[in-house]
Structures are given as C-alpha cells and as structure tokens.
Structure 1
Amino acid sequence: MLKSIRKFENLHITCWLLKDTCWVMDLKTLGLIMIVPTLCLALYITYRFRAVPAEFYHNIAVCSWIMANTIWMIGEFFYDDSFRPYAIVFFLLGLLVLAIYYLFVRNRVKESELTDLI
C-alpha cells in the first residue's frame, strides 16, 4: 500500500509548495487555485491511510495545517490579515489530533498490526 501512495505524497508536496510560493509571491489567483489540488490530495492520502493509525492521525493533522495555511493566506490576500485567529483554530486542531494519537491511540496499536497493513 505504501508504494502506491508514495506518488500521491510527492505530488501533494509539490502542490503544497506551489501554493505557499504563490502566497509568498502574492500571486492570488494561482494561490487560490492551488488550494484545491493541495487539499484534495491531502484528504485522499488521509483516506488511503485510514487503516494505519499513525499515518491516519498524522495526515489529519496535515489536513488541519493546510486548512490553517489556506485561511491565513486568504486573510492576507483579501482581508488585511484578519483571518489569523481562525487559522489558529485549525493549527490547534492539528495539535489536538496528534495529542490524542500520542496519548491514547499509539499505545493500543501493536507494531505487528502496522507492518501487516503496510
């Protein structure tokens, strides 16, 4: 399963870097367009890893991070950076998901179950 997802992960990283580069360069239209493939690929990767708890929880955190970056970017582009408090919610959500994984889920999953799934 891991090999079949790797190409999507690499494409996802490329889209994410393009989105953030557009943000830094103030390329509003292209930055907005890049939200769609970046977020869709992140959600697809998360869905594909739904059976592997470590990957699933970390990818949910990545989706939250992308949402936070997206909200922050849109706020900077169009709303005088007033959306930052909304972005913080998604950053905190990502941290909460990881805290839940490390505090409650990780110890319940046996390593042998993880390697069988990958």
Structure 2
Amino acid sequence: MDPVTPQPREADSRLRNVALAVHGLYAASFLLGVTVLVGVVLAYMKRADAAGTIYHSHLTYAIRTFWIGLALSVVSFVLSFVGLGFLLGFFALVWFVIRLVRAFLAWNDRRAVERPERFF
C-alpha cells in the first residue's frame, strides 16, 4: 500500500471525525447560526471521500437536513405574515432536533444513518 494513502482504519477514523464535526457544527447553530453553513460546506467537501463507508450516509443526511431545513425556514418566514409561520417554524425546529439526535445516535453506535434521503 502506498505510504501516503491512509490505512482503512485511519481513513475511517478521519471520516468519523468529519461526521462528528458536521453534526457538531449543526448543533452549534442553535447558538451561532452561521455554523450550519460551515457544516454543510464540510459535508459537501468530504462526501466523495466517504463513498463506500457508513459516513457517506451521515454526510448525505446532513446535506439533506440543511436543504430541507432551509426550505422549511423560508416557507415559515413567508407564512409568518399570515400568522401560520410560527407554527411551521416550531415544527421545523423540532424536526431539526430530531434529525440531529438521530445523526448523533447513529454516529455513536458506529452505524450508517438509515435511509438518509427520508424526511424524518
């Protein structure tokens, strides 16, 4: 094996750390909203490296969480002018927390996120 190419265990360890960093940045967005942007950029940058590993599902899940969350937030903002946005905004917040917890639990158990393309 090429000495520059990381060993499989080392590569998995690095990808595990990347997945944790992405999930952590998403969690930190509750305090510092911009960290979710850093997290999604990191997920996009490392997803190709994670192909064929369980961490590919983590990064795909994080990317979908960002885009669906953004869409829910925009619709919530628009609907806030007619009074319905606050309800949808609360739903979006709960949805985001559920997805974040699912991601952390899968990461902790060293398993892939099941069906990362689903809504919940």
TM-score normalised by the chain length of structure 2 = 0.47
TM-score normalised by the chain length of structure 1 = 0.48
When you count helix as a share of all residues, which structure comes out higher? 1
